[in-house]
Structure 1
């Protein structure tokens, strides 16, 4: 049994607790369990955006492109690589949505493996990943080889070994499963794909900024991630793409646009790709949408990604303990790995009434989200979430569920 007041000691002993005060709304009684879908804004971000509108956009106008905006996708990409991705400079770029970047990198990858006819992906991967892979398979006359996974877990080494072979062009995997929070063994699964001669693309949407990633050390080929979850870039903030330097000369950009051309303003009759990661840009970079994540990257770098992961493990472990105490006796089951080494930054709790419970909680200023089947998902953003918030939120989950079953 957990100590009902134990959250006080946990918050008092938490070295990252002071960072919570830097987020807009964190001082309010609302319980926010959805930081893995949309992170809170930092208090410094509003003034940053206002200064940009007044001084750069309003003051410099179109001159801003020559004064730094054109380089911003790569500048922030390198910051992402250094702070959270374990990637050397020149391999990460910001721009487009997650969906568009998934298409670009998947399409480039299968083109780089001519004669291979299969894309390997699991049935519980995020819908966008599955939909894009299916579209590319139709477009290129390829076959999807599906891995059936436990919805409470994710892809294992044995499952991937059984799925890949000489026909595998590309393996598409999520580092943290969106439903269960299963934390995949990124180095081991990457090695299995490579042993089969395939490229591997990792979806980092539910890990970047919460779980340390070592893309270069693991030999990852390709990765895509969003920036509005644990990186707090705001709704619709652009995604990022990582392409290992060894592949930058061989992969062909499938959406050829002026911003990825070797001479952006030459505007010649034919397309010639820019050298390096810039070739994976297409259209005009969304400058305003990139600004908020700079503040969060600075904060994560200040705190240290390993310390962020330690806090994340502590928060999710506490949530599991409290759920065992308060919710298991009334029929709620854990739909995430119990071992924190196998779990990302969220926890999913199952009960047949969780869809209704989630809707009712939103009316009470407790904000989790719902995922079929029957899953209430608790996303705990490490720098903006307290242990007291976790305790209060789960107490209200129990109260709401009891009212519905009375």
Structure 2
């Protein structure tokens, strides 16, 4: 767990425990696993866990940083589904933190990152499922219409997304991406939708969609969100299938390819129609400035997927309080010589967006740790009472600050 010269690397890659309890109500998971490993193991057992949205995300960072998944409206954050942590503490002792033992540490590890110890196993709640879900993914143009000056389909998409958040459906999930992808002609929208088969009535099926309004004749059990969008938006391309929820994580893997340089900025905003419009408007208006900074002949070879991703955080996820939504500004590129340009553009775009939201009373201080940039304070939105409690627990379990001084990287609880 060190990235410094002459440091000690503690690799957890061989800690790959996977044990489903006899009653199938929980599963023991090692920190050396990725979520694809966990999903594949659970496939034949008709249970599911709250994990990453692509298969190659590591288990420990996702859970210790919060954990937003497609099915958060049904089961909450990933951290809400941890029943027990096995932890090596700074004094080398090993404890099990759960609701019956070390309750304070159990609370702190849920969003406390790597400030309290090395977690050597997680016991997660295993949720019974029918083994089937409706999964759909489609792309459409968000280019500006020369006649109206407006972006194609944006009004419809934002209206439908807001309706989805307001409905607070705990059987469905959605991940909308508003992108600029030069390899595909520029501005593109991409929507992923999942709906669990909670009644066991869905029949297996699959198909593709392209340039057609509305569900195709073979498209069965179509979720309302997907149906409403495709009735008014002709997809450039898309596909759907009824299969195991794991299949959506496989479908998302191409959106996070290996070999790219990538940078994230994340903030939270009140989940209103006005917020959605403001976030996407600023993002697309900032793209020309980025393109001007890159040599025209190198844009296709250099710039990957640049996007703003909307993450609805509903009442069901929070279990209390008002609806909020997270948004992520992400850029991908190939050549390290453009690192400074890409990071400066991301920083300014993030600042302008958050500032504009703040002026309208739509911003929120929460920063989702797992998507935060290194220059963002992931603990800033935790609240004074929570931070005071975290510091007290750290004083109890790591009074000499081993994890702060000796573990490079990650988000550290301030003094």
TM-score when scaled to structure 2? 0.20
Quick check: which one's helix share is greater?
Answer: 1
Quick check: which one's strand share is greater?
Answer: 2
Higher relative contact order (CA 8 A, sep 6+): 1
TM-score when scaled to structure 1? 0.21
